[in-house]
Each structure stands twice: as structure tokens, then as C-alpha cells.
Structure 1
Amino acid sequence: MSNTPHRPEERIGDTPEVPTIAQGVDEEVVEDNRRLLVGWQWWLFAAFAVGYSSFHLFSLNVYPLETWSFRIIHICGALILGYGFYAGAQFLGSRESTGARKGMTWLAAALLIPALYSLVQVGLMWQTIQAGAMRIDPAVETWHFGAPLVFASTAAIVLSWFYRQAREHLSVADLVLMVCALASAGYFLVIYNTPLRMSTGTSFAPIGISYAAIAGSLLILELTRRVAGLALVIISLVFLAYVFAGPYLPGFLGYPGLSVNRFFSQVYTDAGILGPTTAVSSTYIILFIIFAAFLQASKVGDYFVNFAFAAAGRARGGPAKVAIFASGLMGMINGTSAGNVVSTGSLTIPLMKKVGYPSRSAGAIEAAASTGGQIMPPIMGAGAFIMAEITGIPYTEIAIAAIIPSILYFASVYFMVDFEAAYKGMRGMRSDEIPRFSRLAKQAYLFAPIIILVAALFMGYSVIRAGTLATASAAVVSWLSPHKMGIRSILKALELAGTMAIQIIAVCACAGIIVGVISLTGVGARFSSLLLGLAGFSQLLALFFAMCISILLGMGMPTTAAYAVAASVVAPGLIGIGIQPLVAHFFVFYFAVVSAITPPVALASYAAAGISGANAMQTSVTSFKIGLAAFIVPFMFFYSPAMLMEGSTMQILRVGITATIGIVMLAAAVQAWFFGPVKAWARLALLVGAVCMIYGGIYTDLIGLAIGVALYLTQRRMPAISRKVVS
């Protein structure tokens, strides 16, 4: 990635008078365990990725497949791509000998025998069903399909943890896992397209379903570990352990229990892995990943960041404000907080340090701003699509409801940054250090795909149709820019989309395991009764408890999985105590998002610390402080639903204005600056006034406004020397 700060050359528009700063923002980030395949292996997987993306476009727009079959193929394709691109262990160094690894290679090759045998058995089962058989002999499913499949999957996963190979080559152990993924998915496609599909979850279910589900779950968990870390895997394993430990647990956690066969015969259905999370990843998320890939191929990301520099670079603390604008724009392209940090932070963080921000502040600002990209309409990351799927509320209503909260969040971060810059006497960037806004404004047509997307959604088009139109428009609009998309660029975008989709699909499938446990064991209902009991004492206490659980479940997890899990565990309980579904799900969604900047496990903050060179824990604490509004605003959803566009126009307008003023006062209290430095008593008064304004009641608004006006007049009357900028 070539986006280190420097005196830029001319790129955008190929006009000598248009200096640019951002270059390479759209370049693909290569993770440490990502293979860099070469030769025929690269061509093979690149072609598979192109075909995988094209398959989704074709199925979603032209020839729909049966729902379960479509989702099974969706997951299987991601598993094959994932095991092709992501290694399970560290790569061999350039000077390390491969001789010691020959034994593992032969062992992995031996595992190909049971894996291929189980795949062959799937073909034979299909022939048997086609010949008119009602079901397969259980002995065949157990000894000729299930046992070889589970053995090969388990052994190859364990072997892959120690199987080190050169970065340019595919490992044999991962080849075994790809064959196992094909065998598992093939069995499901055979059985789920017969009447036997109706027997899942009963004692009549074919034993092969359980074996295929066990192997499939293991493959999903291992891929999730490779692409998203251990946090989600550990939580999934805890939930899986609960399935069988439940009968021995005391209190409200106890339940009668499920047998291994009954649970696994149902977890790989729409009650679990093939349920809401995969439904969203196989439709909306994959489509918007393709859209994002097309935008990246046309270098829109570079334009967004340069546009942000032109718009905000001259303000005091300019690069920090650029980070806010750029991360909000890039949030419409990038689906994860940490990914957003990497794409924009490698440019903005060094520039923030250059104008005077400490390393931890520079990283924290980028982390907080990038996290806000997940709540930025119209795309809002992937969580909004899952919310629409779970609640049945139209996506357009969810996007509209997110407008005021997202404004409040970014306003909070903006004023936190502005007041810190004022307190420390920071300058903005010089005119010769930033692109010329008038020139960039002439390329505002690059926003057209996003405008088309929003317009199509509000004109009543389905999300799938609107996303497809936006994707096509990205290719068309590119012909007006220097980065025209021809056949090669389109194929590259499709290949990039297939690669980008691996993480989110694995995460959604893994979250589906947790959702399956919750729905099949009834633990969600028991949690709801617990919240209902707490609400009997205090609704605020119930909300606080729900906040803690949402953040705890989201720590170390991507936003999508964090929300999906919290929505299954926490949201039903909130709805049970009388909170509207939209309010309850937004409450959970916000805390799932801000778990990315919540200590001690804050993925976005840790990613930013890696770039800034600051201590990771200090960065996460600072980003928590900068994003403080996100921990207060969700409580206001309950006390003032107008914040989510629930109410009359005047109510919504009043709440929006007063809450924004409250956010400014909150930032002033945190940063000790309100038209000059403020003392401890004034900071406390500002905090009280901020909470009153954010609360949304008539009387509290008047109290908060009175406090704000009184402090403003006090600050303005202070001697000029006391308002002198503190260096």
C-alpha cells in the first residue's frame, strides 16, 4: 500500500494543478496469513473468485435458486476460497528448509483418501436417491460417509495448525479441507432437496445430516479463526458446550438438554447456520461487497479521502478532521471498523502526529471515526441488513432512523477533535499541502453510484435491485474518470469481491452456529425473563445490563457477528420489557458497534495503535473517551424515540437540535475547552447540561440550555489572558 504522507504528485484528473495526498487507499490489504499464490494456482483461485461473485449476481438477479441450496453453495464457495487464500499456520521463512515438512505433506496426502472417499459416496447417494430410494442406509451414511468425513476434517484442521509452507503455495492439508467442504455441502444438497429435509431435528432425521453438520461446523470455525481471530470461535465453542452442559447448570441457565444427533441435525438449517445471518450474507452483504469492489477498482476510495482533505484539511487539527470525514465516506465501502482503520489510518495517523497530536490520540481518533463508519447511512456496514432481516422492518426505515444518531456520533468526534486542537494550539494544513477543493468538486460525479443506490432504495426498488444498479453505475461512471473500467478491471473487481467476502461470510456462518444454539436451547427466552425481572426494579438497570452484555458479546468480534449474536440474546429481552423493536435493535446495534473501541478488547483501537506506534491499551481508552457519545445516545433511544425519527416533525427537529448542542457540551466537558480552557467545576456543569440536553425532555432541555448559556457568558467575560490557547 503506497499511501505514506508525502508531497503529492498529480493524479486525480491528470491535472497538474490538482495535488493529491491519498494514493493506494483502494489497494487490497494483505493479512499476515494470506497466501500470495503464483502461477496456475493463482489463476485457478482467481477464476474461482470471479465465478463465485458472478454466481451471486446471476442468482440474485436472473435465475434464483432454491433458498437452502443457494445458501449451502454460498458457504461452501467461501470455505473453498478461504482455505485457498488463508493459511492455518505461519509461513516458512525464506531460509527455512522444507525437508522437515515432507512427513506432514505425506500425512496430509494420506488424509485425501478418506476425504475423497466421502465425496465419492455423496455422488453414489445422489444416484441412489435419483433411482427412487426414499432414504440412504444408515450404515452407509455412518461408515462410508460420516466417519471418513469427520475424521478427515478434524485431522486436517489439527495438521494445518503445524503445517508450514511457503507463502506462494497451497498446502495439501488445506486441499483436504476443501474436499471436505465439497463433501459436506454435496450431502446437504442431495438430502435437503428430498422430503427427508422435513425430518431435521427429529429422531427420524438421517444420521448423515449430523455428520455433515459436524464437519461443516468444524470447517466454519477453523476458517473463522483464520480470518477473524479466536474471539468469535471461543464464544461459539462456549455456546456449543452449553448445548450439552445445560442439563447440569443451575438456575435460569438450566434446560432439559439436546442429544448430539438432534442438535446437529438441526443446526445446519434455517434455525442456525442457514438462518438470518447467512440469509443476509448471501444476498445483501455479498452484493454490497461486489459494489464496494467496483468502487475500489475505479479508485473512488482515493477520491473520497482527497475530497475529505480538501473539505477539512485547513481547519485546526486538519488531518484529524479529515480522518472523520474520510472514515465516514469509506465506511460506505468498507464493512469493518478495523478494515476502515487500515485503509484510511495509514495515511491520516502520520499526518495527525505531524501537526501535534500524540500517538495515542492520533490512533484513537482514527479508531473512533472508523467505528462510526459502521453506523453511517445509507449502507451502515452489514449490521443494518441483518437488522432488516431479523425485525422485518424495511431497510429504508432503518437507514432513515440512523440519520440523527450518526450525526450525533460524528458531531461528538468532530468537536472532541476540534476542542483538543484548540486547547493545544494546533494548526491546520497549508493550502499547498492539500488538494484544491474547486478541482475535486468537478469530479463529484464519482459520488453518483452512491446517490443512485440511495435514490433507488427510496424509489421503492428492492435492496438487491438497487445494489445491482449501483454496481453497474460504478463501472459506467468510471469511464468519466482516469480509471476507466474495462473487461480486465471488471474481472479484477469480481475477483477482489470474492476475496473480500471470505471474512464476512465465515463470520456470519459462525454467528449462525450461536444463533442456532440460542434458538434450539431457548436460552434467549430465559435471558429475556431475567431482563424482565430487572426491569421490575428499574428499566434503566435493565438497559445498563443489556448494554454490558452487548459489549461483552461484541468484544473481539466483527460488527456483523457482534450484532447478530447480541440481537438474538439481548434484543428479545428488551422488547419483552416494552421497548419498541426498532429502538431495542438500534440499542443493541450501537453497543455491538462500539465494542470495537471499548477496552480491554478493542479491535479498531488495536489496529490504529499498530499504525501509530502507541500503546494499544492507552489508544483504546482514548478512543473510548472520544467516542463517549455512542455510549450515552443509545439510552436516549428509549427515553426519546424521536431520535430514531419516531414522532412528529417538530419533535424530531427539537430532539435533533438539542441533542446536538448537548453533544457539543459533552465534548467540551471531556476536553476541558469551551470558548477557552475551563475549570473542574465548569466541566462538571457542562456534563450535567450535556446529559440534560441529550435526554430530550422539555424541562431538561431548558435546564441544559440555561447551563450552556451561563457558561458561555462566563467564558466570554473572562480576561483575555485566561482564554489564551494552552500550548
Structure 2
Amino acid sequence: MTQGKQHEPVDPGPQSGSGKITDQIDFDQIEALDSSGHRRLSGWLARLVAVWAIFAAGFHLVVLVFHPIDPWLFRNYHLVLLGVLGFILIPGWSKAKERVHWLDWVFVVLLLVCGWYIVHHFQALLWRAGVVPTKMDFYVALIGVLLVLELVRRASGWALPILCSVFIAYAFLGPYLPGMLQHRGYSMERFFTYIYSLDGVFSVPLAISSKYIILFIIFGAFLQVSGVGRYFVKWAFSVSGHARGGPAKVAVIASALMGTMNGTSAGNAVATGSFTIPLMRKVGYSPRFAAATEAVASTGGQIMPPVMGAGIFIMAELTGIPFQHLIIAGIIPALLYFISVYFMVDLEAIKLKLVGFPRHMLPSFRSVMRQGYLFLPVLILFVMLLMGRSVVMAGFWAIVSSLLVSWFSRSTAMGPSKVLKALETGAKNAVQLMAVCAGAGIIMGVIALTGVGMKFASVILGIADTNQFLALVFAMGISIVLGMGLPTTAAYAVAASVVAPGLIQLGITPLVAHFFIFYFACVSAITPPVALAAYAASGISGSDPMKTSVTSFRLGIAAYIVPFMFFYAPEILTHDNLLKLILHSFTALIGIIALSCAAQRFYFGRLNVPLAVVMFVTAVSLVSPNLYLGGAGLAVLAGLFFYQRYYRRRNDQAPGAPAVAG
């Protein structure tokens, strides 16, 4: 979702950690969060758009569950239904924010015409698109591609349409380029009809958007409208709100729960950060640290099973690996990531001597657990996926269960009006990711047509010279650079098309290669200089965006180490050797905690720069799969512990409770 309205903070000024906090936490405001950035329509147009959105959501559910149709036709309807919403709801420029411009209606009509043309000439287009197109095929395809680029620009900014334009230009400039980038070139007619077909715009990314992403966004809308999303945050507060720096830990837990259903890191940062960032500032965290914490936690939601921010669906399609296997593979890496972030905020709270919220301000854990049945929709989804049921049916029954579970309490019960509201919200929230997937399809179409993906693979092979570590470093750089400014789904789709073939040719398994790329596509959202999640969170906290992105990079440092574990200790993903899995997971856990201590320069007391460097090297040795290095790392940790205790005792220092004990 795009960054939208930013709500007023509960209390913009930070307070001393030892000060008294008397304000009550208003959990009701969570339901009012609006991260869509859409126009606020009124009157007949608002009602018309609501009916269109409800129809679009209902149409997708009917086709997916009860009455399947041809894939190209279904993706065409998907693009048209949500594209119309996009042109009406998302302003194209600042002066058109208040009302729908006449140019928006022109775009709507053109999109409807393009959609009708595909339906009307469907049988003929199946064999002539991209091969022997007619003049009218070319004109419709050209208009369709331009409409997609405009929709992508409105939904996600300039980065993705510029990247699409670069790839489109490459298709025509290839004959004039030197060396390996050269290709024979293509005519305008063949190129655009190829791109505006099942090989481009309507290829794998839009297939995933129409089958899976919209389904789970509708599921998330049902959770939001029924109040289950608010319950997740209340549960997180009841568990950790009283701990030192409680709101930061709540942000970590709540973002893990909410972010897995959200399609973008920035959208999750705005949605949960509007509530958690002011509370973090209230207990004493700096605005920059509060924003960075929310950005890192929201980014982690993209790697948290079972949904993993929708990118996992593209991975399943590209690799052919069953979806439930990918879910299981992602559990331990996600836990390591969030444990690292949790310790980061805990160590910051120790250094600043912060407290949490008083118990009387927080919901009682016992009363919250009485509503534990509200976790059932997510649990049902997770169990059905692990049982091997289709993703569509698992998502559908998760939606149905969220409706049924809401009836257990009068406060959450969904009547007809709330059901329609959830369908409307789901369709509107799916617009951005649909546009992003359509844009990613253009890039993947160019890659397939020109063969540039295999050329990148040969570059990786040449630079690495069969050295897999160098290949991984090179792949990391490409994934992060391609992901800067792009939503996670598009970043992974593009990076996987360019980088994955080269890694697989080096002998790296598809599971490891794609997870490696997926992680770095995700963390591009917190990597300077273009860190979308950090920028979104800084807009709420009022901190400097660039400084916030640097802090988010430091807090999320584990995410840059964990992917290399996939290669050196693949058991963490494959789970095919229980003993190695346990050993590697244990040493990785200790290493991740040590990494947090090094980044925060605190380990049973403050660390000077040389000791922080020693701690960082120790953490890397523990994260590595080499058991000898792991043993040496444990020995160094023990030595640092005794040194810190002796040093603190000698200098009569007492900076608070022990860090690791926290």
C-alpha cells in the first residue's frame, strides 16, 4: 500500500524513561489508520467506486473458488477491475488530489477498451500476439503498456516505471550496444504485442497478483474490519508493553503479525507505525530510533511465514517448490531476524534506562487471552497450508473463518455492512500491488525476449570465476540495487529473473538461491540511500529520513548476515539433517545476539570500539557453520563476559541489568 495520511502522534515529545506516564493507550485508533493515500471521494462517485470495488473482490473470489476461467482472460479482468480503481482513487499529480480529473476518465475509458479488445479477439490473439500482430493489435498493446506504466507511477512512484522504461529502451537499442549487451532488435509491433500478452504484463507476477495476493489482501481486510488486527496489537502490548522500552518490543511483535499479510514494508510501517512510533517516543526512545525500529520490524514482516508479504507466491511459481515447503524453510531465518531486532531495542532501552508502560495502562493478559480464538483464522490458514491444501482454498477458508470467528463476540461481529466494507477495502488495497506486478511483468518480458537474464548469469560466472562466495556478494549487490525504490514483490521478481539463473548455474540449489535473493530484495527497504520503509516511518516520527535509514541499516544488520547462512548451512532451510539443524540454529542464535551487542556496543556494559569489533568478529564466527569457529566464538564471548564484569567492578560501574539476560 502506498504511504497515505499520517495520524497525529499521541504525544510528540519524548519523556525520560524514569518519568511517569499517565496517558491511557487508545487502542480504538488502530482501526482508523488509513495507509492508502487514496482520494477521499463523496456523493455518487464514492458509492459507485464502492460498488465497483465490492464487485471486483467478489468476482475474484467467485472465479478463484467456484468458476475458473482462462488465465489470460482472468488476468485481463484483474488488471481492468483494479486499474479502474487505481486511476480514480490515486491522484496522478498534486493538484488533482481533491477531485477526479478529466484525464483520469480518459485513462479509465482507454483501459476498458483495451480489456474489451482482449476479450473480443481472445482466440485470435492466442496465436498472433507477439508473432504476426495486426496494426490494431499493436495500437491496443502500445496504449495498454503506457497505461500500465502510468498506473505503476501513481501507485509506487517513479522508480519502477523508470526501470521499466530502461528495459523497454534496451529492447530497441540492443543492435547498437557493444559486447554481450548486443541483440538483434525487434520491431515495435512485435515487441509491444509480445509485452502486452502472457509473456509480459500478464505473465507470472500478474498471475500471482490475481490468484494469491488479492486473496490474502482481502483476508487482511477482513481481519482489519472485524477488529482482529487491533487484537493482535493489544495482545502484543499485554505480552511485552510492560517491559523496558515496551512499545518498541510491541512494534517488533505487532509488525511480525501484521506485516506478513501486508504487501509492502512501507505500507506496514505506516499502518502500525502511526500507533507505535508515538508510544516509543513517549517512553524515551529518540524519534530516529523509533522510526528505524518500526521500519526494520515492518520489513521483517515480509519474511515472516505464512504469507511472507506475497513475494513467496512468486518464489513458489518460479522454483516449482511446493508452497508449504517454502513456509517451513522460512521459519528459522525469520525467528533469527526478529530475535536480533528484539535484542537491539532491548539493549537500547538498557543504555537509556527506559521503562515500559505501567501494568494498569495495558490490557490484562488474562482478559486478552479470553479472546484468543481471534487467532484462529491465521492458525487455520497456517495449518491448511502445511497440510498441502491449495493456497487458494486455504486463503478462502481463512476469510470464511475470520467472518465466523468475528461472531463470537458482539464487539467484533461482522454484519452485511462490515462484510461489504471488507470486500471494498480488500479490492482498494490490492491496487498498488497489482500495478507493481504488472510493471514487473514488463521487465520479465523484456528479459525473456532479449535473453539478458542469461547474459547476467554469464557475468556472475565470469566475475566469480566459479567462486561461489564472490558470486553471492555480487548477487547481494544486484538484489539490493534493483530493490531500491521498489516494493518487495517487484524487487524480488526482477532480481530473481536477473540473478537466480547465474547462482543456480554455479551449483547453488534453487531454494537457497531464491531465498538469498528474496531476503536482500526485502532489506533493500531499509538500505541507504533509498530506504522506502525508513523514509515512510521517518515521516511519522519527524526524524531525518537519511539518518533514519542509516539507523535502520544498523538495527537490521542481521538480515545482511542470515542469507549467507543459507549457503553455508542449508540445513536451516532444508531441515534434512536434524542434528546439524539444531547445532547450526543454536550457534546462529548466539551469534545473532552477539551481533546485536556489537551493533549496539553493549555487552554487560558499554563496549569501546575495539571490543565492539572483537564482538562483531565473534558474532560472524558463531553464525558460520564451522563448529570450530563456533567453539572459538563461544570462548571469546565468555572471555568478554568476565572482562566486562571485572572492568565494571573495577570502575564501579552499574549500567543496569545484564544485556543478554534481557
- Please give the range of the TM-score, normalised by the shorter of the 2 chains: over 0.9
1:703 and 1:437 map into 2 onto residues whose CA distance is 42
Checking the alignment, whether the CA contact within 8 Å between 2:35 and 2:271 is kept in structure 1 is no
Structure 1 residue identity aligned to 2:183 = Y
Q: Secondary structure at the match of 1:532?
A: helix
Shift of 1:171: 2.3
Are residue 61 (structure 1) and residue 65 (structure 2) matched? yes
Are residue 403 (structure 1) and residue 403 (structure 2) matched? no
Shift of 1:224: 1.1
Shift of 1:298: 0.4
Structure 1's unaligned 5+ residue stretches are 7-18, 92-163
1:257 match: 185
Matching residue within 418, 434, 439 for 1:505:
434
Checking the alignment, whether the CA contact within 8 Å between 1:409 and 1:630 is kept in structure 2 is yes
Are residue 365 (structure 1) and residue 369 (structure 2) matched? no
Are residue 531 (structure 1) and residue 460 (structure 2) matched? yes
1:242 match: 170
Of 537-546 and 173-182, deviating more is 537-546
Shift of 1:718: 3.4
Matching residue within 113, 129, 136 for 1:183:
113
Of 714-723 and 392-401, deviating more is 714-723
Shift of 1:631: 0.7
Of 36-45 and 589-598, deviating more is 36-45
2:656 and 2:376 map into 1 onto residues whose CA distance is 44
1:54-453 to structure 2, matched below 5 A, reads: 54-91=58-95, 164=96, 167=98, 169-194=99-124, 196-202=125-131, 204-453=132-381
Of 397-406 and 528-537, deviating more is 528-537
Q: Secondary structure at the match of 1:49?
A: helix
Shift of 1:265: 1.7
Structure 2 residue identity aligned to 1:699 = Y
1:600-611 to structure 2, matched below 5 A, reads: 600-611=529-540
1:492-550 per-residue CA deviation (whole Å, 9 max, x = no partner) reads 11011110011010010011001101111100000001111122163222111111110
1:30-70 per-residue CA deviation (whole Å, 9 max, x = no partner) reads 555x2211111111111010000000000001110111111
1:542-691 to structure 2, matched below 5 A, reads: 542-691=471-620
1:548 and 1:26 map into 2 onto residues whose CA distance is 39
1:366 and 1:262 map into 2 onto residues whose CA distance is 46
Checking the alignment, whether the CA contact within 8 Å between 1:535 and 1:577 is kept in structure 2 is no
1:537 and 1:280 map into 2 onto residues whose CA distance is 34
Q: Secondary structure at the match of 1:29?
A: coil
Are residue 39 (structure 1) and residue 43 (structure 2) matched? yes
From the superposition, tell whether residues 279 and 389 of structure 1 become closer, same or farther in structure 2 (CA, over 3 Å): same
Runs of 4+ in 1 over 4 A off after TM superposition: 1-4
Q: Secondary structure at the match of 1:193?
A: helix
1:473 match: 401
1:75 and 1:383 map into 2 onto residues whose CA distance is 19
Are residue 26 (structure 1) and residue 31 (structure 2) matched? yes
2:295 and 2:252 map into 1 onto residues whose CA distance is 10
Aligned residues: 638
Larger radius of gyration: 1
Give the TM-score normalised by the residue count of structure 1: 0.86
Sequence identity (%): 50
Checking the alignment, whether the CA contact within 8 Å between 1:692 and 1:700 is kept in structure 2 is yes
Structure 2's unaligned 5+ residue stretches are 1-5, 12-23, 658-662
2:574 and 2:439 map into 1 onto residues whose CA distance is 33
Give the TM-score normalised by the residue count of structure 2: 0.94
2:443 and 2:612 map into 1 onto residues whose CA distance is 44
Work out which structure has the larger RCO, using CA pairs closer than 8 Å and 6 or more positions apart in sequence.
2
From the superposition, tell whether residues 272 and 42 of structure 1 become closer, same or farther in structure 2 (CA, over 3 Å): same
Computed over aligned residues only, the root mean square deviation of the Cα atoms, in angstroms, reads 1.7
2:76 and 2:653 map into 1 onto residues whose CA distance is 64
1:457 match: 385
Checking the alignment, whether the CA contact within 8 Å between 2:466 and 2:506 is kept in structure 1 is no
Shift of 1:271: 1.5
Structure 1 residue identity aligned to 2:420 = L
Q: Secondary structure at the match of 1:654?
A: helix
Q: Secondary structure at the match of 1:381?
A: helix
2:114 and 2:7 map into 1 onto residues whose CA distance is 42
1:221-264 per-residue CA deviation (whole Å, 9 max, x = no partner) reads 11111111111111111111111111111122111111111111
1:463 and 1:395 map into 2 onto residues whose CA distance is 8
From the superposition, tell whether residues 719 and 266 of structure 1 become closer, same or farther in structure 2 (CA, over 3 Å): closer
2:449 match: 520
1:141 match: none
2:220 and 2:503 map into 1 onto residues whose CA distance is 34
2:424 match: 495
1:9-20 to structure 2, matched below 5 A, reads: none
Checking the alignment, whether the CA contact within 8 Å between 2:261 and 2:308 is kept in structure 1 is no
From the superposition, tell whether residues 282 and 48 of structure 1 become closer, same or farther in structure 2 (CA, over 3 Å): same
Structure 2 residue identity aligned to 1:175 = W
1:645 and 1:180 map into 2 onto residues whose CA distance is 48
Shift of 1:427: 1.5
Checking the alignment, whether the CA contact within 8 Å between 1:188 and 1:209 is kept in structure 2 is no
Matching residue within 10, 20, 38 for 1:5:
10
1:354 and 1:432 map into 2 onto residues whose CA distance is 16
